[in-house]
Structure 1
Amino acid sequence: MIKPTPNPPQRLFTVANGISTEDLLVNLSETLASANALSCDLAFNLESSKREELLGVAQLIELAQLLADRVHTGFGPATTAA
């Protein structure tokens, strides 16, 4: 039997309340570093366009890592580009 509407998404993971912002950012940073290492390791076992695609994903992960690190270390008041 085919249902007319799909099941709503199920929440598999949650973040516990009471964790400091700094701890959350550290965990985020470590998770991104792990994802980057995994994607790079996998990419180097591929060839051609699939390798390039996965290296592109690794680059996006690295960008997210840089953003998370900037938030974590703080960089003073926001400035606007001239």
Structure 2
Amino acid sequence: MIKPTPNPPETDPTSPYESLDSKKLNDAAERALDHYLKPSAFIMASTHKPEPMYLANPKYNTESLLANASETLGSASEMLNNFAAMLDTSHRKTALGIAQVVMLGELAVNQALDHVELKE
């Protein structure tokens, strides 16, 4: 009589820890998985500290914040101009319009920076 389904495959009854080589292989696999899937311990142990200016820190005065905003807006304007040079005409006009708005923001921040009185 013919069976409608084949026999299931035979499973290997050996444990991965029965021989020294398989234990070494398993340990190496565990180290590799820990290295790639658990990077948080390495990241948390880093000595890198974030720039406190970008935190809600009341120690920074208005002049420092405005100067940083001015530099950031100037960089954004320059990046937009460089990016616009790589675009075709219709998209270039849009990018240059955005760059102009950023430049106007930079001018406003620079004007505010000129009016800031230093507190000593």
2:92 to 51, 61, 70: 51
Q: Aligned AA for 1:28?
A: A
TM-score by structure 2 length? 0.49
What is the CA–CA distance in structure 2 between the aligned matches of 1:28 and 1:15, rounded to whole Å? 15
- Extract unaligned runs of 5+ from structure 1: 1-12, 76-82
Q: Which entry has the higher C-alpha Rg, 1 or 2?
A: 2
Unmatched segments (≥5 aa) in structure 2: 1-53
Structure 2 equivalent of residue 6 of structure 1: none
Match of 2:75 in 1: 34
CA distance in 1, matches of 2:97, 2:56: 28
Instruction: Report the TM-score, using the length of structure 1 for normalisation.
Output: 0.71
Corresponding residue for residue 8 of structure 1: none
1:1-82 alignment, distance < 5 Å: 14-74=55-115
Which whole-Å CA distance do the structure 1 matches of 2:105 and 2:90 have between them? 23
What one-letter code is carried by the residue in structure 1 that aligns with 2:68? Answer: N
Runs (4+) of structure 1 moved beyond 3 Å?
A: none
Q: Of the two structures, which has the highest relative contact order with CA contacts closer than 8 Å and spacing of 6 or more? A: 1
Identity of aligned residues (%): 33
Q: What's the offset of the Cα at 1:64?
A: 0.3
Q: 3-state SS of the aligned residue for 1:17?
A: coil
* Cα displacement (A) at 1:14: 3.6
- What is the deviation of 1:47? 1.0
Residues 60-79 of structure 1 deviation map (CA, whole Å, 9 limit, x = unaligned): 0000011001000029xxxx
